[in-house]
Amino acid sequence: MFTRVAVGRARVVREVRAAAPLMAALRAPITARGPWLTAVLNVGAAHRLTGRPVAVVVEAHHQGRPEAVAFLHLRRRGFVTDVTLLGAGTPPLPDGRPPGRLLAGNPDAAERLAAGIHELLGTLRGPWNLRLTGLPMGDPTARALAALLPTGLIRTLRSAALVDDLDDVGPVLRTRDPGALDGWLPALLDRADASERELLRAAARLHAAIGQVELAVVPDGGRPRAALLTLVDGDDRWPWWGFGADGALRTQLGVPVVELSVPARGWPPLPGVSRR
């Protein structure tokens, strides 16, 4: 096996496409699959100075399918480079379960992927701050990477899952029809935070086109009194984003998620003192 790094939107898009069989084999969540990551990349491409997407890829041989891959995002803040999972900083993400993945097909590939990420960190100019949030418990790549980082910290975080109680508010229209979603989308975007609108629009339309998002809306004339977008993968339903008063939506304790972090130290470093 060998490891390589792809930098920039165009190259990372190609790696996302090439990783589709691995994503399917590992039953990656919708938020760690090609359509979602493509929407994230498209949103990022519309803005300057938002950082660089990077893919760390482990392959058995040249031009082969990836055995493991990590999709990351690098962004400079002054002297410090923030390293996160691709999409982790692009809201809105669904809560209630781990949305992120470090994709690895077997334990050896996970070890090599961790080594590849570690090598990438070593190439960054100046100090860096690593924060890989939203991983599942027991992630083998995160565990192996933490072992390579003396100051690495793995911690478990709580998550809060949205619960669909729209039926308690009034008659609910539920549909996966892309045209119906498009008709309601402007009204939904009016209720979204400004930071959420671009990904909400792009990801909702893209996943509606492939039958992976459901719109539930309680109409009030021509406006939504309450609404919920749910990501759908076969029989699995994952409430994503919504709004509504009168108990239309509530939250409950979700599945724990894991964060691997390494905080940046001071810069510039003192003579003879490592930055890590």
Question: Do residues 145 and 191 both lie within one domain?
Answer: no
Task: Say whether both 127 and 170 belong to one domain.
Answer: no
Indicate the pLDDT class of residue 227, thresholds 50, 70 and 90.
very high
pLDDT for 88-105, tens place per residue?
999 999 999 999 999 999
Q: What is the pLDDT of residue 272?
A: 36
How do strand 128-135 and strand 80-85 relate by DSSP bridges? parallel
Same domain for 240 and 171? Answer: yes
The number of beta carbons lying within 10 Å of the beta carbon of residue 36 is 26
Report pLDDT digits (tens) over 127-173. Answer: 999 999 999 999 999 999 999 999 999 999 999 999 999 999 889 99
Q: In this structure, are 28 and 130 located in the same domain?
A: yes
Average pLDDT over residues 252-260: 97
Give the residues across from 241 on adjacent strands: 229
CA of 117: how far to CAs of 5, 34, 68, 102, 194, in Å?
9, 20, 11, 10, 33
Give residue 150's pLDDT. Answer: 92
Q: Which of 67, 64, 86 is nearest to 75 (CA)?
A: 86
Query: Which residues lie closer than 8 Å to 133 by C-beta, 6 or more apart?
Result: 84, 85, 88, 100, 157, 257, 259, 261
Number of separate domains in the chain: 2
Q: Give the three-class secondary structure for 58.
A: strand
HEC sequence for 180-207: HHHHHHHHHHHHCCHHHHHHHHHHHHHH
pLDDT computed for residue 246 by the predictor: 76
Statement to judge: residues 204 and 92 lie in one domain:
no
User: CA 261, CA 259: separation in Å to the nearest integer?
Assistant: 6
**What is the pLDDT at residue 271?**
41
In a domain, 36, yes or no: yes
Residues 61 and 189 in one domain: no
Q: What is the pLDDT of residue 64?
A: 76
CA-based torsion, 188, 190, 195, 199: positive or negative = positive
Residue at 274 is within a domain: no
Domain CATH code at residue 107: 3.40.630
Are residue 82 and residue 147 in the same domain, yes or no? yes
* 210 has pLDDT over 90: yes
Domain assignment present for 75: yes
Q: Is residue 268 part of a domain?
A: no
- Three-state secondary structure call for residue 273: coil
Same domain, 35 and 48: yes
pTM tops 0.85: yes
At position 123, the amino acid (one-letter code) is: T
Same-domain check for residues 52 and 106: yes
Instruction: Report pLDDT digits (tens) over 18-61.
Output: 999 999 999 999 999 999 999 999 999 888 767 999 999 999 88
Q: 96 — phi, psi (to 5°)?
A: 105, -15
Over range 173-190, report the average pLDDT.
97
Same structural domain for residues 85 and 141? yes
Whether 271 is in a domain gets the answer: no
Task: Tell me, yes or no, whether 272 lies in a domain.
Answer: no
Whether residue 118 sits in one domain with residue 14 = yes
Residue 267 inside a domain? The answer is no
Task: State residue 265's pLDDT score.
Answer: 64
Instruction: Tell me if 125 is assigned to some domain.
Output: yes
- Band of residue 263 on the pLDDT scale cut at 50, 70, 90: confident
pLDDT of 202 over the 60 cut: yes
126: pLDDT strictly greater than 60: yes
Given a cut of 80, whether residue 249 has pLDDT beyond it is: yes
Q: 140 and 11: one domain?
A: yes
Q: What mean pLDDT value characterizes the chain?
A: 93
Please report the pLDDT score of residue 273 as a whole number: 35
Residue 247 and residue 167 in contact, taking contact as beta carbons nearer than 8 Å:
no
Residue 63 confidence (pLDDT): 72
In this prediction, residue 248 carries a pLDDT of 86
Q: Are strands 66-77 and 223-233 parallel, antiparallel or unpaired?
A: unpaired
* Cα–Cα dist 177/34, whole Å: 21
Query: Rounded mean pLDDT of 209-220?
Result: 96
Strand order in the sheet with 236-244: 173-175, 213-220, 223-233, 236-244
Domain of residue 239: give its range. 161-253
